[in-house]
Amino acid sequence: MMQDSITRRNFVVGSMAAAACASASVALAEDVAQWDQEADVVVVGFGGAGGSAAMSAFDAGASVIVLEKMPFGGGDTEVSTGGFLNVTDPEAAFTYIKGVAAFTVSETDEDWMQLYLNESVGMTDWVLSFCPEGTELIEYGKAQYPSLEGADSVSKFKIYPQNNEPTSGIPLFEALRSNVEDQRQIPVLYNTPAKRLIVDNGVVVGVEAIQDSAIINVKANKGVILACGSYENNDTMKRNCLIGETRILGTPGNTGDGIRMAQKLGADIWHMNGAGGCAWGFECGEEHQAAARPAMPTGGFIWVDKTGKRFFNEEKMERHSAFLGVGIFDTVTMTYPRIPMYIVFDENNRAAGQLVDSKTGFFGLHEYTWSADNMPEIEAGWILRADSIEELAQLINVSPENLAATIETWNASCESKEDSFGRDMDWGRPIAEPPFYAIPTYPATMGAQGGPKRNTSCQIMDVEGNPIPHLFSAGELGSQWGIMFQPGVAVGEALVTGRLAGKAAATME
């Protein structure tokens, strides 16, 4: 796996230079002076969806070129936990997934939902079919909402980590990458962001991209597959579509490029309020593009809101939908009282181990290696430190009286083994040993779900419900999932839609 160093500064500068070379408008085939590259199928984006699409199109007899914006592939698949959904009974799973979807106000497509679940039957066998010999899968979870009907029909699997590998999507994407580049010899053009779709009489026939600060035109004889993620690193789109303040755990390459390109051709857009895998994260200096995800080494911590009070069982909030739990707007104070919220702990917790999950997320896997004792990060100001509770309260701008009372109540709960929020106090530890610490923490998403709708052949649909000729999508871009979903369906959807889109594009006339 390529681990190039990339910073916020050089990524933004590079993106601005690329933007200067091409506008967001559609390019016309009649204006293309020459085709610099040519293939039957052009895949935009090289993550789990793009890798699956490239394999599928190639195996269906098409020649393929992949364009990747970043210096390396992987996308959000690589920096996720790498888990995917396996289905044993698609009819029961359909009942269960419909039940999960009913929790939200998002539009759903039941035909697509059923197709996805049918394609997820035996997903473990298909994943093993392209993994290296000897690869093992582990079942690491089941239905997130076990009380719903049909919950027994789904479970979550991922590749068993070997040789102290992180529990991430790295092994899964590396298997895809090897199949694409090494075994099938499909060319992947890195550092080559797609900028415009090229059309001929309304039919998508290619992609205009930027390579080495110059425009290149890549011809697609059969179809273009947009597998370039959603918009979570586009600040304007985030402000317009997501509540509160959201930080990013996933790849910085997902800036809504595919959404803009598809919109130019009249694509119908949905699920722009959906944020997949939304946990919590905190910022670590301006030089880093992605947030770090907190992970406390002991039970000696609490989370408080802007009033300095606890408001939930810290162990029970479903991490894929964290923004639903904290994105509450107070119309009296005119604030989001839980954004940010603050993780508060003491010296004993600090000394017990790393305060972050360095196994997933772009920050931990690509940008920074966290120290063993957390001290360099504290000295850098990423984690706030104070000698007293009162001083800590002033640092995070909460009521000293409230924070002191909250910690006093917590410490009493540690003694009595009973917590008013129902937390398991066998793991609870008092917050009593100075210095004291706090981490300002925000909803942090692995990836947004919004984008163009697709039909069951993964063709992108226009606002009148018609497929845009020879234009397909896969993965997060226009995902069928809205603001709440069963964990494991995001990576699973990347694999399923990539497989379907590749085959469909390869068979176009």
Q: What is the 3-state secondary structure (H, E, C) of 155-166?
A: EEEEECCCCCCC
Domain end marker among 109, 124, 159: 159
Close Cβ partners of 471 (under 8 Å, ≥ 6 residues apart): 197, 204, 223, 224, 226, 262, 265, 459, 460
Spatial distance between the Cα atoms of 351 and 297, rounded to a whole number of angstroms: 9
The verdict on residue 137 lying in a domain is: yes
Are 474 and 460 within 8 A, CB to CB? no
Residues 350 and 420 in one domain: yes
The verdict on residue 154 lying in a domain is: yes
**Peptide linkage before 435 cis (omega within 30 of 0):** yes
Residue 98 backbone zone (phi > 0: left; psi -120 to 50: alpha; other: beta): alpha
Are 166 and 365 within 8 A, CB to CB? yes
Residues 208 and 318 in one domain: no
The verdict on residue 165 lying in a domain is: no
- In the beta sheet, which residues pair with residue 443? 280
Residues 253 and 124 in one domain: no
pLDDT digits (tens, 9 = 90+) for 394-421: 999 999 999 999 999 999 999 999 999 9
Backbone angles phi and psi of 93, in degrees to 5? -65, -35
Query: Number of folded domains in the chain?
Result: 3
- pTM here is 0.92
Q: What is the CATH number of the domain that holds 485?
A: 3.50.50.60
The verdict on residue 11 lying in a domain is: no
**Which SS3 state, helix, strand or coil, does residue 301 take?**
strand
Domain end marker among 445, 461, 485: 445
Quote the distance between the C-alpha of residue 325 and its chain's center: 18
Query: Please, where are the H alpha helices in 346-429?
Result: 347-351, 362, 375-379, 389-396, 400-416
Residues 440 and 314 in one domain: yes
pLDDT score, position 1: 39
Degrees (nearest 5) of the Cα angle 280, 240, 321?
30
The verdict on residue 9 lying in a domain is: no
Q: What is the CATH number of the domain that holds 411?
A: 3.90.700.10
Contacts of 110-115 with C-beta under 8 Å, sequence gap 24+, read 111/456, 112/454, 112/455, 112/456, 112/480, 113/480, 114/90, 115/456
The verdict on residue 236 lying in a domain is: yes
Spatial distance between the Cα atoms of 166 and 163, rounded to a whole number of angstroms: 9
Spatial distance between the Cα atoms of 249 and 442, rounded to a whole number of angstroms: 11
Spatial distance between the Cα atoms of 115 and 454, rounded to a whole number of angstroms: 13
Residues 263 and 203 in one domain: yes
Q: For residue 225, what is the DSSP state?
A: E
Alpha-carbon dihedral 256, 259, 261, 264, rounded to 10 degrees: -130
Q: For residue 132, what is the DSSP state?
A: P
Residues 402 and 311 in one domain: yes
Tokens of 308: 């300095």
Low-confidence ranges of the chain (pLDDT < 50): 1-23
Domain span at 327: 278-445
Residues 189 and 66 in one domain: yes
The verdict on residue 405 lying in a domain is: yes
Residues 312 and 407 in one domain: yes
Residues 32 and 110 in one domain: no
pLDDT score, position 337: 94
Comparing C-alpha atoms, which of 287, 300, 74, 326 is closest to residue 175?
Answer: 74
Domain end marker among 445, 464, 492: 445
Tokens of 432: 């009593």
Residues 133 and 177 in one domain: no
Element (H, E) at 325: helix 322-326
Element (H, E) at 500: helix 489-506
Backbone angles phi and psi of 19, in degrees to 5? -65, -30
Residues 330 and 432 in one domain: yes
Burial 408-439 (b: 16+ CB within 10 A, else e): eebbebbeeeebeeebebeebbbbbeeebbbb
Alpha-carbon dihedral 421, 423, 426, 430, rounded to 10 degrees: -60
Quote the distance between the C-alpha of residue 290 and its chain's center: 11
Residues 346 and 380 in one domain: yes
The verdict on residue 12 lying in a domain is: no
